[in-house]
Structures are given as C-alpha cells and as structure tokens.
Amino acid sequence: MAVYVIKRIVVSIMTLLLIMCITFLLMNAIPGSPFLTEKSTPEMIERANAKYGLDKPLYVQLFNYVKNYARGDLGTSLKMQEGTSVSTILFGQGKFELSIKLGVISLLLAVIVGIPLGCIAAYNRGKWVDGFLRVMTTVGVAVPTFVLAGLLLIGFAVNLHWLPTKSNSLPDFKSYVMPVISLSFYYTCYVAKLTRTSMLDAINQDYIRTARAKGVKTRMLILKHALRNSLIPVITYLGPVMAGIITGSFVVESTFSIPGLGKYFVQSVLNRDYPVIMATTVILSALVIFMNLVVDIAYKIVDPRITLTGKED
Amino acid sequence: MSGKFAKFSPFHVDPELIEGTFSLRPEDFDRADENEKAAMEQKRKSVSYWRDAWRRFRSNTVSMVALGVFIACLLFAFVGPALIPYDYADQYRSSQKLGPFEYSAGEATARSIAGSVDGFYATALQPGSLTSLPKGDYVIYHGGKTYAFTLDRAMENAILMLQTKAENPLFIVSESKIQKDGSWSDSKAISYTDTPADGAVEIRLSRNVFPHAFGTDSFGRDLMARTMYGTRVSIIIGIMAALIVLVIGATYGAISGLSGGAVDFVMMRIVELIYSIPEVLVVLLLQVVLKDPLRAWFDSSDSALVQSLSALGAGIISIFITFALLYWVTMARIVRGQVLQLKQQEYVTAATALGAGNGRIIRRHLLPNCVGSVVITTCLQIPSAIFLESFLSFLGLGVSAPMASLGSLCSDALETITLYPYRLLLPSIVLTIVILSLNLIGDGLRDSLDPRLKK
C-alpha cells in the first residue's frame, strides 16, 4: 500500500510539473509582450522585461518558476499595482476560500443527493419513481451549467424575486442556493445515473441472492450489501467531477458575480499576467490531481480485490 | 448384457434402422434436380450486422423519438435560414429589442396594408441603417411584368405599393397617412415603363411581414435567424470535433493495441498523462494563444483551404485544435482495449494459422468488430463537444461576432436577463434539446450496436 501511495504521489508531482511546462510554453507562445501598451517604448518594455526576469532564456525562467513554487513563492503580478504578490491577489479577500466553499459544497451535494437518488431508483426499478428519476437525470446531464444558471436566474430572481441576482461574496444562505444548484445539478444527476446502473448490476450478483435467501431484509440488502460494491464506479467518477466543478465555477462565478478564483483565471489569461496564469493553473490543477490521488487510494481501500501493484490495465 | 438391459444398451442397434439409414443406393449419387436444390436453399436471408442493429434501434421508442427530434433540429439549423427572410448578421435599425412576435411601428404599418396590396416595399423591413430609398433608377419584376421607374428624390418614411388591378398600379404612401386599420389617403402614383434603365436597382416586394418569432436583440438582429445559425455552428463544431477525435483516437489506440509491448506501454503512459491534465485550463490558454497566430495565418495566405478555414473564424479552429490535442484519449483507450481483447480471440488465431497477413486480420476481423464501440463513442463525443464549445463561447472565447453559436447567444442574453429573459430561454432550450437528443441517440446506438452492454 505505502509503495503504491508513494508511486501515485510521484506520478502526481510529475503531472503537475508537466502542466507547468505546458502552461509556460503556451504563455510564451502568445505573440507580443505583456508590457506592450499604446504608450510603451521599446526601452520601457526592455526595462520591464529585465525587472521581471523575462529577458532570461526560457529554460531559466521555467526553472525559476519551479524553484520558487517549491518554496511556496508564487511570484509577483505583472499587471496589478507595483509588486503585488500573486498570493495576495489569489488568496486575499477570501477569493480562494469562496471558490473552495462553493466547489466543496457542490461536490458534497452531488454525492449526498446523487447516491441516494440512484439507490431509490434502483430499489423501485420500473415503478413511477424510477421513471421520474430517469427522466430527470437524463435531462439533467443534457443541461449545460450556464443554461441552468440562467434558467434559475429567470425563475427565482427575475420573476419570483425570492433570491438575489448577484451572490457577491456569498454573504448569506440565500446567495448560495442558485450557484450551488447550478454547479452541482449535472453531477448529481450523473452520480444518480451511475449509482442506479451499478446498483442494478450488484443486485443481480450471486452474493445478493445468497443474502436474500438467508433472510436479509431488502432495505438492509441495498444499504449494506449492494451499495458497497456499487460505489466503486461512483468513487472513480469523483476525479472528473472535481475537474468539472472547477470548470463550472468559471461560468457560475461570472453568472452570479462571485469574485472567486475562476473569474481571476479567465481575467489573467486575457490580461496575459503570466505569474497569475501560472499560479491559478497550478493551484486548480493541483486540486484536480489531488482529488484523483485521493480517489485512486480510496478506490483500493473500498475494493481490496484491486491489486496494489499500480497496474491499472 | 442380457435380459432387459440389452434393450437400453448403447451398443444395441436395431438392424432394421441400419438398413434404412446407412445403406447407400446408386441413385443417391445422381445430380440434384431443381426441386432438391430449392429445398436446400435458406428460407430466410441472413441478417447483416447493421440491419440487425437498425431493427433493434427502431424498436427503441425513446431513441427513435430522439432521432426525429434531432432531424427536426437539423432542419431548423440547415433548412430554416432559407425559409425566413432575415439573416443572422443583418441589423434592422427600427426593430431593436422586440419581444417574440412583436412588431416595430414601421413593421406594424406595413402589416396593416399587407392584405390590400399585391406587394409592397417598406424601408422598415430592410436591414442596415436604411430608412429611406435614395433617388435613382429601380426595377421591379412582379407577376411576369416589369415595372421600371425613377425616383427623382429620396423616398423617406413611406411605403411603395403595387396593386396590379388598380388604375395606377405603382404608388407611394407616406407612413403617416396610413391608418391603423390599413386604409390610406394621399397616394402618389409613380409612372413606370417596362424597359429598365442601365444600372437600375432591383427591388424585391414583400407580400407580408415575417414575424420575429424569437424577438430581436439590441442591435435589431432577428433572434430566430441567429438561433438557427447558432444551432448550425454548434452542430457542425460537434460533428467535426467528433470526427477529429475519431481519426486521431482510433488510429492511436489501434497502433498501441496492435503493437503491444514497449510501444504500447509508452503510448499508454502518454495517454494517462494527457488524461490527468485538467483539460479546460489548457483549453482556455490555447484559445487565447491560438487566436492571434491563426488570424495572422488567415491574412497572410490566400490558398482556398486557408480561406475556407478563415470563414469559420479563429475561435472555432482553435476549438478543433484543442480537440485534436487533448480530447482523443478516451477514444484511444476504448479502441486499444477492443483491439487487445479481439487479438486474443480464437478466430484471429485461426486466421493467423491459416496464413492471413496483418492487413487482412485488421480489415476482416478487427475493424468490423470494433466498429460498434467506435460509432457509439463518436456519437457521444458530439454532445460533449457542443458542451465544450458553448462553454467557451459563453466565456467569450469561442466564436466571434457577428457569428453566433448557442453558447454565445446565451452569454449575450445574460447581460439583459432582467429585461429580456426570453433571449436566454430560447437558445438555452434549443441547446438542451440538441444535447439531449444526441445523448439519447447515443444510448440507443449503444443498446442496438452492442446488446451485451444493455442495462
């Protein structure tokens, strides 16, 4: 187990380094200089380049990034006021917390609501409950985040005036409702679909028949015996869910005017603020990669049948 | 072996039976006549894989409905624009910010007279900033007749009408002289000839005012035309992206699976690395990175291919490049898995034993057996590509104005959501319907092409 975990951590760090390289290369592939404005003279650009170390060879710049990141130094912004550090930009005023709060709540909601819905559907297979949930989940995975966000806005903010149109810094419970629902609905539906399918698979297994023959009640059968085995595909799916929620947060944060990390990423890309792009990419990627790592390890714990040698195929 | 057991002994054979079955007669070796040949023929034709799959697909009501809906969406997107008189990029200055089925003042006036004349020309129905018809030579072709006339001064805030039965068929009425009920006074007759002057501008008469079924946007563009166009762009992007993924992913996966060994190992580690990259972050970067170089490339080259690409716009091309770089991995994994599994099958071993070469095995055995899952994966790739495109357009990175995609329409509508919620509602519904129908078709294909997977 320890060997496997270490191996996975090493692979994760490698992936993160790869992402840093790709991001770095892409950033530098954008033609022109980040300091190019209407007023700037060639000398000014040169001076700015020298100040921020952009005149050094690319590999030196990349190496500096990696070195500083390893020390926890995210660098200084090229575009904000003189010498504003990237960590102030990203972590100041609770931006990072805001995104994390939103993401974690949505993730939890997807799991806490999605899995029981899947169980209920499988338990009532063929009845109207199942039919209703099937229609709901099928439609749910066809609605893009921004469409749902927009529909909720029209319904609850514009027409009914129950909820605020702008969530700002998520001051109260009301402001959470729409962002969280629009962010998590797709994944709730997907998790429910996945749980239903794998639950039905599990129910047809021999050990379930044995348990039933032994007189285990149906409720217990579903909750204790079938659920454990049907959770495996759901756990595997949590990695992509994390990535998807981060993606969705870009849309949700701009739709509901939430000053979070996602908004800054899009902005920094458009502004060509290299250190901010790099920092946001690395932080968000690290989140996804960390989630994948957790999932992979959880996966082995939940299902001891899977070999721990690290060979996936 | 005696007594009553003899009867059941496997070794006991009734001598009469031998006589009947095994004795050969000379006529058994005669050539078969027509009747005997007919008796040997198959009663039922064998059912091909695709026919069988189609039969299963047809019996699946949900997928058939989804297919019907998707075909309707295709008609909406590809035939629809030809049926309505509005274009996605045309701006009607007097028709800004109209709700669904609302008419501007000029359109309402034109509508009121529509029943009583054979054709009319109203500046309110013309795109652009035109409110008047400048002076000059004009020609109208109507009902096999030619009406050529000259305006010696610009026609402003007036409607040109044609009443073929009337004494003066061609006349102009000032908009202010037209009553709500469609009656008018002070018509000014125009003299005409049947030989148009050189360089006469042709005028097309309208019969009626086509409604803005989805309303118009703040620039006075018809939203139904834009939604149709946006649906077309989204569907084309989805299909193209799926094809790109199909070609790259299937080739990569097939090579990896067929080669096996170290090549396979290295190729699969690459796939795993790409798989673990949170692709949307890279996609966003790519979109920004590619925009300027692509534009420069479009401007510098004038080959036919580059020009046709530039018609699509830099945003869409960079979406394709993104798919080509990052999104083929799922397809590659699936194809590789299939190839690995199929390689182990007995019939492949048998074919190898019979001396079949690699090419023949790939063509005859591997390809036909992979095709099901490849088709399914490709089909399900289309909605996910549409998802991604609409996401990027929503963030303002996909298609660029005046082009529209369903995502960009939604994003534009969001700014004015409090006042004009239908602007968001309509493209959203179309987008959801397209994705939903494609998802359901994909599910139906999976059930019919690969019944073993059916849940």
B241 close to B320: Cβ distance less than 8 angstroms: yes
Dump pLDDT digits (tens) for B222-281. 888 888 888 888 888 888 888 988 888 888 888 888 887 888 888 888 887 777 777 777
Mean pLDDT of B420-431: 85
Is the pLDDT reported for residue B426 higher than 80?
yes
Element (H, E) at B43: none
Which residues of chain A are within 8 Å of residue B394 when distances are taken between CB atoms? 144, 146, 251
Q: Higher model confidence: residue A284 or residue B301?
A: A284
pLDDT given at position B214: 79
Give all domains of chain B, ordered by start, each with its CATH number. Answer: 104-202 (no CATH), 223-453 (1.10.3720.10)
**Residue A102 Cα distances to A90, A246, B74, angstroms:** 16, 10, 38
A282 close to A289: Cβ distance less than 8 angstroms: no
Indicate yes or no: CB of B273 within 8 angstroms of CB of A139.
no
Q: Higher model confidence: residue A118 or residue B125?
A: A118
Q: Residue B272: phi, psi to the nearest 5?
A: -65, -40
Is the pLDDT reported for residue A311 higher than 60?
no
Indicate yes or no: CB of A30 within 8 angstroms of CB of B292.
yes
Q: How far apart are CA A5 and CA A3, in angstroms?
A: 5
Rounded to a whole number, what is the distance in angstroms from the first to the last CA of chain B?
55
Indicate yes or no: CB of A144 within 8 angstroms of CB of B391.
yes
Residue B11: pLDDT band with limits 50, 70, 90:
low
Q: How far apart are CA A188 and CA A105, in angstroms?
A: 12
Dump pLDDT digits (tens) for A179-213. 888 888 888 998 888 888 888 888 778 888 888 88
Residue B90: pLDDT band with limits 50, 70, 90:
confident
Question: Chain A: nearest CA to B327, how far in angstroms?
Answer: 14
Indicate yes or no: CB of B383 within 8 angstroms of CB of A142.
yes
Q: How far apart are CA B133 and CA B250, in angstroms?
A: 58
Range 153-212 of A in CB contact (< 8 A) with B: 153-154, 158-159, 165, 197, 200-201
> Which of B288, B383, B410 is facing A147, going by the closest CB pair?
B410
Residue A308: pLDDT band with limits 50, 70, 90:
very low
Indicate yes or no: CB of B284 within 8 angstroms of CB of A266.
yes
Is the pLDDT reported for residue A128 higher than 70?
yes
Rounded to a whole number, what is the distance in angstroms from the first to the last CA of chain A?
18
pLDDT given at position B71: 92
Indicate yes or no: CB of B436 within 8 angstroms of CB of A159.
no
Mean pLDDT of B100-117: 72
Question: Chain A: nearest CA to B275, how far in angstroms?
Answer: 10
- For residue B162, give both structure tokens: 């044609």
pLDDT given at position A310: 43
B interface mutation test: which of A20, A125, A146, A291 has the most B CBs within 10 A? A146
The pLDDT mean for chain B works out to 78
The residue of chain A with its CA nearest to that of B386 is: A144
> Which of B276, B428, B435 is facing A150, going by the closest CB pair?
B428
- For residue A141, give both structure tokens: 């995975």
Inform me whether the C-beta atom of residue A13 falls under 8 Å from chain B C-beta atoms: no
> Which of A15, A146, A247 is facing B277, going by the closest CB pair?
A15
Dump pLDDT digits (tens) for A25-80. 877 776 666 666 666 677 777 777 776 667 777 777 777 777 877 777 777 777 66
Residue type, A234: V
Is the pLDDT reported for residue B1 higher than 50?
no
- Range with lowest mean pLDDT among A232-241, A274-283, B15-24, B192-201: B15-24
The residue of chain B with its CA nearest to that of A263 is: B395
Indicate yes or no: CB of A247 within 8 angstroms of CB of B285.
no
Q: Residue B244: left if φ>0, alpha if ψ -120 to 50, beta else—which one?
A: alpha
Is the pLDDT reported for residue B161 higher than 80?
no
pLDDT given at position A36: 64
Dump pLDDT digits (tens) for B379-400. 888 888 888 888 888 877 777 7
Q: Enter the pTM of the model.
A: 0.80
The residue of chain B with its CA nearest to that of A200 is: B455
ipTM (interface predicted TM):
0.79
Is the pLDDT reported for residue B352 higher than 80?
yes
